[in-house]
A and B are shown apart, each in its own frame.
Chain A
Amino acid sequence: MTDTKTQVVYERPESLTDTHTHYCPGCTHGIAHRLVAEVLDEMNLRESTIGVAPVGCSVFAYNYFNMDFVEAAHGRAPAMATGIKRVSPENTVFTYQGDGDLASIGMAEIMHAAARGENITVIFINNAIYGMTGGQMAPTTLPGMKTTSSPYGRDVELAGFPIKMAEILSVMEGSGYIVRRSLHDAKNIRKAKKAIRLGFETQERGLGFSMVELLSSCPTNWGITPQEALGFVADKMVPVYPLGDYKVNAELETIKV
């Protein structure tokens, strides 16, 4: 026998359940879930965290996260999270929302949660389309982009312009940490994880509202391959939704993660 040393280099985070997801091949929800789970493990928060699932493709997020979860009405996750956090401030509370949920039907709830400086963390998945209902135009759909409800391409004259949530939320005084990241390649995924960490650090330090917007792919409803979809994020979405830090509380700048 040769002397071998074994070392675990990769395993399922405790914050994820041992199950298959219902997400389509090439969808980046799985990556986003894993990043959140890794961060909660690293911060040792799993046992005190309460997640709030949205209406949308991630409606069943609670089947994949191994922690207490509630399931909100469409767009109301920030209100539900507010209720939980206000009566149970000792718990870590996060919402996981898509763009239709957060930037369309839930616009009032997200804006006022930020305005109040609710000490919650929001993971915002922006894939520029409604996934669960089968590919309709979202408030984040790019100009000219074809969807089942913008079959000739989003005409900004008739259907308006994409809504840039990170930019909007960054001007709210209650916001502590507002950034946009992307999940289209390994380098950006690593940056996204750091941002998620800082989002939860914001909450743990009581620095107010935190939101991490994650540009994501939807090959099924975009009608392209997973590989092409990642390219679409990089080439088409990033120019409309620039990556970057939109608001960072000064206290967070001292944190090394």
Chain B
Amino acid sequence: MTKELLKGNEAFAEAAIRAGVEGFFGYPITPSTEFLEHMARRMPQLGRAFVQAESEVAAINMVYGAACTGKRVMTASSSPGLSLMMEGISYIAGTEVPAVIVNVMRGGPGLGNIAPSQGDYYQMVKGGGHGDYFPIVLAPASVQEAIDSIAMAFDLAEKYLSIVHVIVDGNMGQMMEPAELPPMREIPTESPPWAVTGAKDRDPNILTSIYIDPVEEEVTDLRLLKRWKEVEKNEVRYEEYALEDAEMAIVAFGTSARVASSSIRDAREEGIKVGLLRPITLAPYPEKRLDEISEQVERILVIEMNSGMMLDDVRRVVQGRVPIEFYGRMGGITPLPDEILDEIRRVDTNKTEVKGDPREAWMARLEKNIMGEDK
């Protein structure tokens, strides 16, 4: 295989096809629609199932049903669509069947806009649906990594009978870059033993998320929690850049991290010892590594395309050992490398103590910048 120039959404969809997805159920929504369109073209060619559902509510429940057959199935949507899917997501989690969900995030809340955002961090990483469950969340930062993440997502979903969210922002869904697609995976002929396939020569398989006896529900929730602890032990993934001698660590994921890498290169040329920790799994979070880094560096700068959601996780892990500062853009705005470079310079020379919520100082600076830009 060689590298081709691929459009994000189409490449992600094709990656899922190569990973052996047998059913896609979705509803059009910008900026993820090309994913559905690619599936509409390709799935019938391969004799696989494609349904444009009447809503995201229906789409996720189609995924739920199809997932119960033990086949690889998925949906892709964008932020408001994910809100609608939360019902089905909770049921899928409670039934312990595997499913892969791609979220190409856009600005919000509400109808918001169609520009790239990371504003679904809480909803994706902290659950979003009702009840005690723990989705795995992958946050790739390039088209190639997203392609690889989708194949990995199916493996993880099956290994842990879990929902795996692959979250990217609209930038990655819409951009084109050189990437390589994996070869076509052969579709397995055997079904997993728990799947509903017809009770021939065996007892019936019942797949449900109802445990009317609270004791049984507690046993189930404990099983989910124990499984999650295994995920935390085995599946943490992250990438580091220029951290070896760093005195300042930037923590960022997805597009924010990618933009920050450019700024770090420039800052290094100016002699600022700054590096990057980029969580690839937002859940499970790379807590141990962040903990170590917080022993090494003097300051941490968290950069996100939201109001400081992952920031809370960083503060939770670091526990005040080093000052944490925050820089975010919201509403569908992607920060520019120069903006982040300015932040790195500012944090590098800022010897004042950061007290309380790092958002406070950032809000004041941002407000001033926005007002300035307007003039």
Contacts and interface: CB of A to CB of B under 8 A. Distances in A.
A59 B198 contact: no
A48 B58 contact: no
A83 B65 CA distance: 5
Contacts of A109: 54, 57-58, 61
Contacts of B206: 62, 68-71
Contact of A87 (B23, B58, B198): B23
B22 interface: yes
Contact of B198 (A50, A108, A111): A50
Contacts of B23: 83, 86-87
B204 A66 contact: yes
A88 to B, nearest CB: 5
Contacts of A47: 198-201
A27 interface: no
A83 B25 contact: yes
B88 interface: yes
B69 interface: yes
B207 interface: yes
| Interface size, B (range) | 35 or more
A84 B22 contact: no
B204 A80 contact: no
Interface string A30-52: 00000000000000001111101
A67 interface: yes
Contacts of A111: 54
Nearest to B58: A79
Interface string B22-65: 11010000000000000000000000110101110111011111
Most buried by B among A50, A67, A69, A112: A50
Contacts of A116: 51
B280 interface: no
Most buried by B among A69, A73, A79, A80: A79
A86 B49 contact: yes
B198 A84 contact: no
Interface in B49-92: 49, 51, 53-55, 57-59, 61-69, 71, 73, 87-88, 91
B91 A79 contact: no
A76 B198 contact: no
A234 B204 CA distance: 37
B369 interface: no
B205 interface: yes
B62 A86 contact: yes
Given A69-B196, A112-B53, A87 B204 contact: no
Contacts of A62: 204, 206, 208
Contacts of A46: 199
A49 B61 contact: no
A234 B208 CA distance: 36
A67 B64 CA distance: 19
Nearest to A105: B57
Interface in B177-210: 196-201, 204-210
A104 interface: no
A220 interface: no
A49 B57 CA distance: 25
A141 to B, nearest CB: 25
Contacts of B48: 87
Given A62-B206, A67-B204, A112-B53, A80 B196 contact: no
A169 interface: no
A50 B208 CA distance: 13
A109 B309 CA distance: 35
Contacts of A83: 23, 25, 51, 61-68, 73
A43 to B, nearest CB: 13
Contacts of B68: 50, 70, 80, 83-84
Contacts of B69: 50, 84, 87-88
Interface string A55-78: 000010010011111111100100
Given A62-B208, A70-B196, A87-B73, 7 more contacts: A46-B199, A50-B198, A53-B208, A70-B68, A83-B25, A83-B51, A88-B69
6 contacts: A47-B200, A52-B65, A65-B204, A71-B210, A73-B88, A82-B62
